[in-house]
Amino acid sequence: MAIAPVPFPNAWLSSQMHRERSRWTFPLDTDELAQVERALGHVRSRGASIPFGPEDFPLGSLADRLKAIRAEVEEGTGVALIRGLEVDRYGVQGARLVYWGLGAHLGTALAQNPRGALLVDVRDEGGDPYRDPTQRGYHTAQYLPFHNDQGDVVGLLCLRTAREGGLSCVCSSGAIHNEILASRPELVEVLYGDWYADVRGEEPPGRKPYYVEPRYALHEGRFYAQHGPTYIKSAQRFPEVPRLSREQLEALELVTRLAAEDRFRLDMDFQPGDVQFLNNHLVLHSRTAFVDHEEPERKRHLLRLWLSTPAYADVPPFFRARQEDMAYWLREPRP
């Protein structure tokens, strides 16, 4: 198969992102913060609750800026960091409304689990995803390997940080693809083949407990990437799933190793009020382990959204299958 490199800005190195920080970092100014405050007051005055649409969170010039932010996430580097939301001023419930309102201007929220949750709390609740295949890593304080989530875009709002650690790390899937294409082209072909990924007990009735999907794909001129070694390896618990080949294991380990290298990895030290939006098809993300505060009210706490966005109305069949599963759990949530 003829495989071409992924071009910039869909493929980037960390040095490029440091040089072009203004491209993907969006500090909010005083007027934009006032718009957020007024929109929050509007939602509260109407008694609106999540989910609500962008019309219930009216913004002025910030609405246009959010369109530019979405364009950077969909068509550019796949990374956006909005800084400066006054989360302490809003309170936790107010911050939920603000975050949802901003997300509603960017796309449509997707269910993130079989309970149909649209806005998920990311915090340590104990457990071990490496021992329990149904345990979610975002509910632990452990290191999370580089991976991507379901949906077109994943968003995180930081409410509180940990005492130590919890660094957000991102990298360009396209840049890693290009490096492997140049140095190990035979492994790129393996990554474009079929892989089996564990659904971890979240499959709808009648669905198999695993997906069959490539790690890399091209669809309608767009590059798509998938990476999740934990899900790939835990799918081996099913006897009908083919055993991972030596080439597959080598390719999986190579992607993981390259993602962590300084030339590919971009680190972000979240501060309260930061909002990160990432294109799941173009960007992998990770998180360092963290040590939390003792006091419950000070513990690390983020909010997460999964969004579908307009530019990805047409996605490859394997992504469409995932979105159909998320739509099912929105219609028929588990108790």
Which single residue is written with the structure tokens 């068509």? Answer: 75
The helix (H) or strand (E) run that includes residue 99 is helix 87-106
User: What's the pLDDT score for residue 294?
Assistant: 86
User: What's the pLDDT score for residue 2?
Assistant: 85
User: What's the pLDDT score for residue 139?
Assistant: 67
CA–CA dist 131, 135 (Å, integer): 8
With the C-alpha atoms ordered 22, 25, 30, 32, is the resulting torsion angle positive or negative? positive
Q: What is the per-residue pLDDT across 169-211, written as a single tens digit (0 to 9) for each?
A: 999 999 999 999 999 999 999 999 999 999 999 999 999 999 9
**Is the confidence at residue 133, as pLDDT, over 80?**
no
Count of CB atoms situated within 10 Å of the CB of 155: 25
CA–CA dist 319, 224 (Å, integer): 10
Q: What is the per-residue pLDDT across 243-268, written as a single tens digit (0 to 9) for each?
A: 999 999 999 999 999 999 999 999 99
The residue-averaged pLDDT of 21-50 equals 97
- What's the mean per-residue pLDDT of the chain? 94
Q: How confident is the model at residue 165 (pLDDT cuts 50, 70, 90)?
A: confident
User: What's the pLDDT score for residue 127?
Assistant: 61
Which single residue is written with the structure tokens 């936790």? Answer: 92
Q: Alpha helices, DSSP H only, in 245-284?
A: 246-260
Q: What global pTM score does this model have?
A: 0.94
* DSSP-based three-state secondary structure for 233: helix
* DSSP-based three-state secondary structure for 160: strand
Token pair listed for 276:
């990160």
User: What's the pLDDT score for residue 140?
Assistant: 84
- Kindly list the domain boundaries of the chain, sorted by start residue: 14-331
Of 136, 150, 151, 170, the C-alpha closest to 285 is: 170
CA–CA dist 290, 179 (Å, integer): 30
Question: ∠ CA(217), CA(223), CA(228), 5° rounding?
Answer: 60
From residue 177, alpha-carbon distances to 76, 172, 260 in Å are 17, 9, 14
Cβ contact 241:235 at 8 Å: yes
User: What's the pLDDT score for residue 303?
Assistant: 98
Cβ contact 293:163 at 8 Å: yes
Percent of the chain at pLDDT > 90 equals 87
Q: What is the per-residue pLDDT across 103-118, written as a single tens digit (0 to 9) for each?
A: 999 999 999 999 999 9
- φ and ψ at residue 64, rounded to 5 degrees: -70, -40
- Burial class of residue 51, CB neighbours in 10 A (0-12, 13-18, 19+): middle
- Domain 14-331, what architecture? 4-Layer Sandwich (3.60)
Q: How confident is the model at residue 293 (pLDDT cuts 50, 70, 90)?
A: confident
**Is the confidence at residue 132, as pLDDT, over 60?**
no
